[in-house]
């Protein structure tokens, strides 16, 4: 098929409403690759806040995605989990499946350095989890989980589940995944972690990682942490302002509350790691077929304007929803 310089992209045009819009690709040239998208991924974290128009004014610039178009709150083309096949570009990449931090669009053209070829053994259908795995890996570094630690992860969404999977793989750790949805118990078992409802979660934990994006979850993180334990806040609340009982156990237990945010690498990694090395490692980690359990459903790209409000609404069963392109 002859290549064209046009494409279709998903835009959030107003809070809670999206549409497909035509777009022109940038000029081709040396060092550029043209990608035919195969899959993209949607999770219920940052994208739900963007779609709902809940990005705080102060974060309009800091929260921009690498290839975002438009500005918050809308209209904006946003996303960061695209997997496609290289149509044109450097010979070493031609025909290869690659990952790119690109919005939902059926074709696009970017500098070759912006894509990473999928490692052998990673199917493109699962590679849409790469950005989430990057976030989870960064969180584990920030949490400094060590062999033998008692670790609780609150919130069994995609990122929380990936953190639990990484933690459970560290020898000797006792990792518990906590969620209000009892159906997440099977997911925890598949990932090698224990499961608990909020009222049965273990206390005296060495590390607690909060990923539920709820005030109640963050309050419980303080309650479950042992003396001088580390609590990692992984959720992004957008415009919400959760209230915390800092006059209770927070001071008497000398708790440590830290933020983990994927935009920056932890200070003790920056001398040796960069974002590309971290993303390559995230793709390598995704070669485990158990992680297919984090894909909750699929729709065609053309169905995305109708599907997005449902996917990012109150359906607690949604994990990562995959968007399929082509026929």
The model's pLDDT over 146-195, given as tens digits with 9 standing for 90+, comes to 999 999 999 999 999 999 999 999 999 999 999 999 999 999 999 999 99
Domain ranges of the chain: 6-129+290-324, 132-259
244: its two tokens: 């915390």
Element (H, E) at 100: strand 97-100
Give the pTM. 0.94
pLDDT confidence tier of residue 43, bands split at 50, 70 and 90: confident
Closest CA relative to residue 10, chosen from 60, 51, 65: 51
Cα–Cα distance for residue pair 197/271, rounded to 1 Å: 40
11/116 Cα distance (integer angstroms): 25
- HSE toward the beta carbon, residue 237, CA cutoff 13 A: 13
Is the separation of the CB atoms in 238 and 215 below 8 Å? no
Rounded distance, CA 101 to CA 66, Å?
A: 7
Q: Which spans in 4-83 are helix H?
A: 46-51
d(CA 198, CA 181): 10
Question: What pairs with residue 303 in β-bridges?
Answer: none
> Which helix (H) or strand (E) covers residue 276, if one does?
helix 275-285
Q: In this structure, are residues 183 and 153 in contact, taking their beta carbons and an 8 Å threshold?
A: no
Enumerate the β-bridge partners of residue 195.
177
Mean residue pLDDT of the chain comes to 95
97-123 confidence digits (pLDDT tens)? 999 999 999 999 999 999 999 999 999
Look at domain 132-259 and name its CATH class.
alpha beta
Per residue in 234-287, pLDDT tens? Answer: 998 888 899 999 988 999 999 999 999 999 999 999 999 999 999 999 999 999
CA atoms within 13 A on the CB side of 226: 10
By 3-state DSSP, what share of the chain in percent is helix, strand and coil, each rounded to 5?
30, 30, 45
Nearest Cα to 103, choosing from 81, 129, 120? 81
Question: Which pLDDT does position 1 carry in this prediction?
Answer: 44
Q: State the chain's maximal CA–CA distance in angstroms.
A: 68
**Cβ contacts of 117-120, under 8 Å, gap ≥ 24:** 117/93, 118/83, 118/283, 119/280, 119/283, 119/284, 119/287
Beta bridge partners of 176: 152, 194
Kindly indicate whether the domain formed by 6-129+290-324 is annotated with CATH number 3.40.50.300: no
Nearest to 168 by CA among 180, 160, 176: 176
- Supply the pLDDT for residue 314: 65
Position 3 scores a pLDDT of: 64
């Amino acid at each position: 098929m002859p290549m064209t310089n046009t494409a279709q992209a998903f835009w959030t045009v107003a809070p809670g409403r999206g549409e497909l819009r035509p777009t022109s690709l940038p000029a081709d040239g040396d060092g550029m690759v043209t990608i035919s998208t195969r899959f993209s991924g949607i999770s219920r974290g940052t994208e739900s806040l963007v779609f709902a128009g809940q990005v705080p004014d102060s974060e309009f610039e800091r929260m921009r995605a690498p290839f975002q178009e438009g500005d918050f709150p809308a209209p904006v083309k946003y996303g960061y989990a695209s997997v496609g096949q290289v149509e044109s570009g450097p010979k070493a990449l031609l025909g290869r499946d690659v990952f790119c931090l690109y919005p939902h669009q059926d074709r696009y053209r970017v500098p070759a350095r912006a894509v990473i070829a999928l490692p052998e053994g990673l199917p493109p259908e699962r590679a849409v989890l790469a950005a989430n795995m990057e976030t989870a890996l960064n969180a584990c570094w920030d949490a400094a989980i060590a062999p033998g630690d008692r670790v609780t992860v609150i919130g069994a969404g995609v990122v929380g589940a990936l953190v639990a999977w990484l933690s459970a793989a560290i020898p000797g750790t006792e990792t518990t995944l906590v969620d209000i949805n009892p159906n997440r118990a099977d997911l925890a078992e598949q990932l090698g972690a224990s499961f608990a409802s909020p009222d049965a979660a273990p206390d005296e934990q060495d590390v607690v990682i909060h990923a539920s994006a709820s005030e109640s979850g963050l309050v419980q993180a303080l309650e479950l942490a042992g003396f001088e334990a580390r609590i990692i806040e992984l959720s992004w609340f957008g415009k919400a302002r959760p209230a915390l009982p800092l006059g209770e156990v927070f001071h008497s237990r000398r708790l440590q509350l830290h933020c983990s945010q994927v935009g920056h690498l932890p200070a003790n990694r920056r001398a040796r790691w960069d974002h590309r090395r971290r993303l390559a490692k995230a793709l390598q980690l995704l070669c485990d077929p158990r992680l297919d359990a984090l894909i909750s459903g699929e729709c065609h790209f053309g169905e995305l304007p109708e599907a997005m409000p449902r996917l990012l609404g109150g359906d607690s069963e949604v994990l990562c929803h995959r968007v399929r392109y082509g026929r």
